Amino acid sequence: MRDRRRGWLGPSLPSRHRVRQWSIGLYAGSSPFRLRAANGIRNPVLTAGDVSDVRARFVADPFMLRLASGWFMFFEVLEENGRGKIAYARSSDGLRWTYAGIVLEEPFHLSYPYVITTGGETYLVPESGAAGEVRLYRASPFPTRWDRIETLLSGAPYSDSSLIHFRSRWWMFTCSDPHRNDALRLFSAQRLVGPWSEHPCSPVVTSNPHWARPAGRVFEHEGRLFRFGQDDAPWYGHQVWALEITELTSSTYAERLVRNSPILRRRRFGWNALGMHHVDPHALGGDRWVACVDGHRHVLRR
């Protein structure tokens, strides 16, 4: 069965005729933990069909920045050859987006473009696990050029590395085994460029594929620290959980679920019929939040 509006293909179609396609949507809500499709927005807001400078299989892993000149979104574009590049889109209101082009590519796969600003500079930490490293890039100039300035970690296929500056120290959450997705490692540093050292409690999550792997921005809200975990069981990209980090010091770590149900989950039909695995929320003021998310579905193999 096919939904003509979204191209959803039901389970009756043989798997040899199907491929998974990720797209990007916009959610909104009264808190970063209660989000739903934004009113007046037709999701997905960005798809492979919007990519104009390479032949794309899908788009995923969106992160946003809000600057005086408008909103910017960075995300993975997966080419037909299976290699990921980093692209960006622009928006005046954070809801309606225009694809702008590829801004970072390497000889290996890139994804999860974790973008941060600090000290008047804008930095990018994309997933570069295919190179066995966590690399730091700086905008020069923003948003179209990124210069590699440091290697933060090396020696493992670190995936979905997520950073935050909290209590005068930098912290990095990362998954070092992207095949099992069941362990979360924690590193810290005095300065963003390092050196980085592993926390004595790391891995801080073990034998748990439901929320070990990062699923978006780590952020502070009302004086408390939160992170998101992607649920990769029973399949990759199933749903997303929110967790509060209740204790984070140089020697201790503790976290708990924000609620006993995922904050993002699949819908039976549509662009996220198979699941969701990423969220990046931003406060708009008052009790208004907007978040870029991603989801996947089956589409007909080309």
What confidence score (pLDDT) does residue 302 get? 61
Do the Cβ atoms of 27 and 271 come closer than 8 Å? Answer: no
What confidence score (pLDDT) does residue 11 get? 43
Q: Specify the amino acid at residue 118.
A: T
Topology adopted by domain 2-300: Tachylectin-2; Chain A (2.115.10)
| Contacting residues for 153 by C-beta, under 8 A, at least 6 apart | 133, 134, 161, 172, 174, 187, 196
Confidence of residue 13 (pLDDT cuts 50, 70, 90): very low
Reading the block at residue 106, the tokens are 């390497």
- Closest Cα partner for 158 from 120, 189, 196? 196
Q: Specify the amino acid at residue 134.
A: V
**String of DSSP letters for 177-200:** -TTT---BEEEEESSTT---EE-T
pLDDT tens for each residue of 184-206:
999 999 999 999 999 999 999 99
Sheet containing strand 288-300, edge to edge, reads 34-37, 18-31, 288-300, 275-285
The SS3 call for residue 238 is coil
The pTM (predicted TM-score) of the whole model is 0.93
What confidence score (pLDDT) does residue 7 get? 34
- Pairwise CA distance, residues 92 & 15, whole Å: 40
- Pairwise CA distance, residues 74 & 90, whole Å: 9
Burial class from Cβ neighbours inside 10 Å (0-12, 13-18, 19+) for residue 160 reads buried
What confidence score (pLDDT) does residue 269 get? 86
For residues 84-108, average pLDDT? 96
What confidence score (pLDDT) does residue 291 get? 97
Confidence of residue 299 (pLDDT cuts 50, 70, 90): confident
Reading the block at residue 131, the tokens are 């190179």
| Cα R_g (the chain), whole angstroms | 18
What confidence score (pLDDT) does residue 18 get? 76
Tell me how many degrees the CA angle 217-63-75 measures, rounded to the nearest 5. 135
> 4: left (phi > 0), else alpha (psi -120 to 50), else beta?
alpha
Q: Specify the amino acid at residue 41.
A: I
Do the Cβ atoms of 216 and 173 come closer than 8 Å? Answer: no
Reading the block at residue 132, the tokens are 């066995």
Confidence of residue 169 (pLDDT cuts 50, 70, 90): very high
Q: What is the dihedral of CA 108, 273, 205, 162, to 10 degrees?
A: 50
- Pairwise CA distance, residues 109 & 95, whole Å: 28
Q: Specify the amino acid at residue 260.
A: N
